[in-house]
Amino acid sequence: MSTGDRAAAALLSWYVDMGADEALAAAPLNRFQGGSPPPEPAGDDGGPAVSAATLDELRSAVENFHGCPLRTDANRTVFADGNPEAGLMLIGEAPGREEDRVGLPFVGAAGKLLDQMLAAIGRDRTSAYITNVVFWRPLNNRTPTDEEMAACLPFVRTHVSLVRPRAILLLGAAAARVLLGTRLGISKLRGQWHEISVGNLPPVPALPTFHPAFLLRQPARKADAWQDLRRLRRRLDTA
Ligand code: URA
């Protein structure tokens, strides 16, 4: 089987797992009718606290930052991957073992599923930009603490302000909670548009969804994730 065939088979199996067993919505949809729910108010609307005029400056500010205890045990700083011009920014939780080894986000098992999720909306790492809410791996892949995420948050918010995506996909509870400033669980947050405001820039629409690692453990929830991805694609198609 060629690499292309393997990718197509993996994508097909993702569709089947999501319960997508027939082609829906073949007829054109009027996206101006009905409409999505109004965006919820933004969380923290303070300006970026990190001074960086470019992504390269931000990357070196992160690499020189020693205020997050996670970096003590990590091998690599994991900053971002993909295309910052793509209009779509994905924000996950934290690097895992593979990411810590390679220095790029989402290159392990969860990353493979994430690639399939992107493919399902016609994108890949040349048409999406991927980062996390912390830049270093927590030992044993535990969830980063509120303090660890708070230490990195000014960098993440500055990251958003420099990339200025048209939409953000928040992967999992940790990313959604820290960036939306809420304690609500991911099952309550997912599938609804929120906004992230940084400084004086227009708020960026942000859609929380399940983390791919969670979907690997709970494949039955892939159908919900698929609904979220369709909603994301609609927004990107019309934005
Ligand atoms: N999980 C994440 O949230 N981020 C990664 O980079 C890898 C796995």
Residue 21 lies in a domain: no
What pLDDT shows up at residue 10? 61
What pLDDT shows up at residue 189? 98
Q: Which domain holds residue 176?
A: 3-14+52-238
Residue type, 91: I
Dig out the tokens for 52 from the structure.
């960086």
Closest ligand 1 atom to Cα of 78: 6
Pocket test for ligand 1, best of 75, 97, 99 (most atoms within 8 A of CB): 99
Distance 141 CA to ligand 1 centre (A): 9
Whether ligand 1 lies within 6 angstroms of the CB of 132 is answered as: yes
Could you read off the pLDDT of 80-123 as tens digits, one per residue? 999 999 999 999 999 999 999 999 999 999 999 999 999 999 99
Residue 29 lies in a domain: no
Instruction: Kindly report the CATH number assigned to the domain that includes residue 217.
Output: 3.40.470.10
Residue 19 lies in a domain: no
Residue 143 lies in a domain: yes
Residue type, 236: L
Q: With H, G, I as helix, E, B as strand and everything else as coil, classify residue 219.
A: helix
Low-confidence ranges of the chain (pLDDT < 50): 24-48
Calpha distance 215→219 (Å, rounded): 5
Residue 44 lies in a domain: no
Residue 100 lies in a domain: yes
Could you read off the pLDDT of 18-41 as tens digits, one per residue? 665 555 444 444 434 443 333 333
What pLDDT shows up at residue 227? 98
Whether ligand 1 lies within 6 angstroms of the CB of 80 is answered as: no
Q: In sequence order, what are the residues at sequence separation of 6 or more whose Cβ sits closer than 8 angstroms to the Cβ of residue 95? A: 74, 76, 78, 105, 132, 134, 135, 136, 137
Residue 37 lies in a domain: no
What pLDDT shows up at residue 55? 98
Closest ligand 1 atom to Cα of 212: 1
What pLDDT shows up at residue 14? 60
Calpha distance 175→180 (Å, rounded): 8
Closest ligand 1 atom to Cα of 104: 6
Calpha distance 50→158 (Å, rounded): 6
What pLDDT shows up at residue 7? 58
Q: With H, G, I as helix, E, B as strand and everything else as coil, classify residue 150.
A: helix
Q: In the chain, how many domains are there?
A: 1
Residue 20 lies in a domain: no
